[in-house]
Amino acid sequence: MPELSYREAVRDALSQAMRQDDDVFILGEDIAEMGGSMGVTQGMLDEFGPERVRNTPISEMAIVGAGIGAAMQGMRPVVEVMYEDFTTLAMEQIVNQAAKHRYMSGGQLKVPLTIRTQGGAGWSPGAQHAQQLEAWFVHVPGLKVVFASTPSDVRGLLWSSIYDDNPVMFFEHRTLYGIKEDVPEELEPIPLGQARIHREGEDVTVVATGRLVHEAIAAAGEAEAEGVSVEVVDPRTLLPLDEATIVDSVKKTNRCVVAHEAVTRMGFGAEVAAIVQHQAFDYLDAPIERVGSRFVPIPFAPVMEEWVVPHSNDVLAAIRQTVGRSESSNGAGHVE
């Protein structure tokens, strides 16, 4: 099994899809000669040429609009929005156009558009380049929302997103691009709406997304040393959501922690908590704990950024809280 980084896995999925299918092409700011802001598309211009690796003007509304038009004409474009903060500049196209056309046409139109974007803290990019906005798009009927946390998952999920006939918001976290993992020699598509259990446990379920999956796994290791068995579940696809895997896990462990880098207020974790409370209330032995960033813009100063966003110690504090062994975290992030 070859070892691929998260960045290489994204590139591999894009490249394999483009080799197989002439209808697949990519477009975005600086994705050609420069290879994208995160280097994901490096080398692809040489293989596929400027018609299929298309640099665009600096206009997110125009980029997404062009992708929608191409998708409605039968192609399968993959749009790169350089930072997910900049999806705000294309919200009309994403929310009012891409998400609505299939429904409003009675299924006569399809919009097989994948919008790749990345974000997250961890390198002091400041408040306008570090947000985690995935919960916004989960709120929009007609979109699908994916947030992969490992190289194997990002490769298989991106492939499935490209070949879905609906618009997909595909989130990546910039601090994950360098992580490596052994992946199958042959690309294996992963169905949208299928969660992954990274670690099985008996005492607490931690439902985590993106970077917090890795923080949760680290916290689970520390909790195990304290005699607490933690199950870590990664939804992978936020919409559609694999509710059954999450609920079944909580019914087994009787406790639940939800963790993400986005702020807790109105975050994706609030929806998970509501689902668990509704479907597994009689199984819960403790209140559901939520872990996320403090409700402030992401600071530029590294020490302040570190204080605002959650880490493994915050997940561990929530685990301790729900099993009745409460100890304060080191102050980073926020626990509710």
Catalytic residues: 60, 129
Q: What are phi and psi of 29, to 5 degrees?
A: -75, 125
Which secondary structure element, helix H or strand E, spans residue 132, and what is its range?
A: none
Give the largest CA-CA distance in the chain: 59
Closest by alpha carbon to 138, among 238, 13, 213, 43? 238
Q: What are phi and psi of 103, to 5 degrees?
A: -70, -45
Pairwise CA distance, residues 28 & 116, whole Å: 10
Pairwise CA distance, residues 114 & 120, whole Å: 20
Render the burial of 307-325: b for 16+ CB within 10 Å, e for the rest: bbbbbbbbbbbbbbbbbee
